[in-house]
Amino acid sequence: MLRSQTKLMDLGRRLCRSIGNNNGSNLTMVEVDDKTGIATLTLNKPPVNSCNLELLLDLNESIKQIERNGSRGLILTSSNDKVFSSGLDLNELHQPNQDRLIAFWRALQDMWLSLFLSRVPTAAAINGHAIAVGCVLATACEYRVMLPGFSIGIHATKFGYVVPPFILISYLSVLPRYIAERALLQGKLFSIDEALHVNLIDEVADGKSDAIIKCAKFIGSFAKTQPDARALTKRQTRAQDVQLLIKDPEGQLRESLEYINTPFFQQGLEVYLAKLKSKSKE
């Protein structure tokens, strides 16, 4: 075999190493770049990465796995080239089995805390629509790079949802208060230009690999920092944002469950789900 061929094969081998997250599911995939030590965490739940219980548990386990294996950073992206994430799986909220709903909401709270407080640098390569909790996943990260042609935002008020405090906080941790407030009240989904203008995203990329490279460059900007000092400083900076959820997770859970179980919420959701389904049949 030619030396140049061997070199190319070595390069291919070096590029990425898949690591499992111990539960054997493919709902998320983790690959670590052997050279940079950065992990790419890919959401992989067809058709639109809606977050059901299993995806939330899997995602949380993958985030923890990435921290345990000493990766230098985490890039969150999607295997779907049109949708980063369509947010919560609305079927989990519709006429729910109460035990499953409790497990689901707990998994959502836990996953958000894990991502928001992750000790490694985090960046989102947003290669598709990032709707509602899809946007929350992106804003939990420290940096956001997005591809043109897609929407990002929390449009909950448009279909009658009041968002829980940690979702508000996620928006407020990135946007100035008056912009976050107006966008939430309008149920606004931002185009890429609008998102860039208000700094909801940090950069625009012309393709998924460009987005990953830009995220990796951001993560590389911490190369000269001491990882524990960086992690603790991040935790302190974000301490106030997570206070409510850390101090009283069960109280927060109870409040959300009460709201989800109201006839008002359930009726609104029924109409919205029917619209969503009829749209997808068009």
Ligand X SMILES: CCCCC/C=C/C(=O)SCCNC(=O)CCNC(=O)[C@H](O)C(C)(C)COP(=O)(O)OP(=O)(O)OC[C@H]1O[C@@H](n2cnc3c(N)ncnc32)[C@H](O)[C@@H]1OP(=O)(O)O
Amino acid (1-letter code) at residue 113: L
Closest distance to ligand X from the beta carbon of 97 (Å): 16
Nearer to ligand X, 143 or 150 (CB): 150
Q: How far apart are the first and last CA of the chain?
A: 54
Closest distance to ligand X from the beta carbon of 241 (Å): 17
- Angle value at C-alpha 272, between 124 and 161, nearest 5 degrees: 65
Closest distance to ligand X from the beta carbon of 237 (Å): 25
Biggest alpha carbon distance in the chain?
70
What are the C-alpha distances in Å from 149 to residues 48, 143, 190? 16, 19, 11
Closest distance to ligand X from the beta carbon of 16 (Å): 27
Nearer to ligand X, 39 or 101 (CB): 101
Tokens for 64, please give them: 């923890």
Closest distance to ligand X from the beta carbon of 126 (Å): 13
Nearer to ligand X, 129 or 234 (CB): 129
Task: Sheet with 73-78: list strands edge to edge.
Answer: 17-19, 28-32, 38-43, 73-78, 122-126, 143-146, 203-204
Nearer to ligand X, 165 or 220 (CB): 165
Question: Would you tell me which residues interact with ligand X (CB under 6 A)?
Answer: 47-48, 50, 82-83, 86-91, 129, 131-133, 156, 161, 163, 167, 256, 259-260, 276-277, 279-280
CA distance 26 to 20: 9
Closest distance to ligand X from the beta carbon of 230 (Å): 30
Nearer to ligand X, 91 or 226 (CB): 91
Nearer to ligand X, 32 or 163 (CB): 163
Nearer to ligand X, 160 or 220 (CB): 160
Closest distance to ligand X from the beta carbon of 278 (Å): 8
| 36, containing H or E segment | none
Strand partners, 190: 152
| 272, containing H or E segment | helix 263-281
- Angle value at C-alpha 200, between 195 and 205, nearest 5 degrees: 65
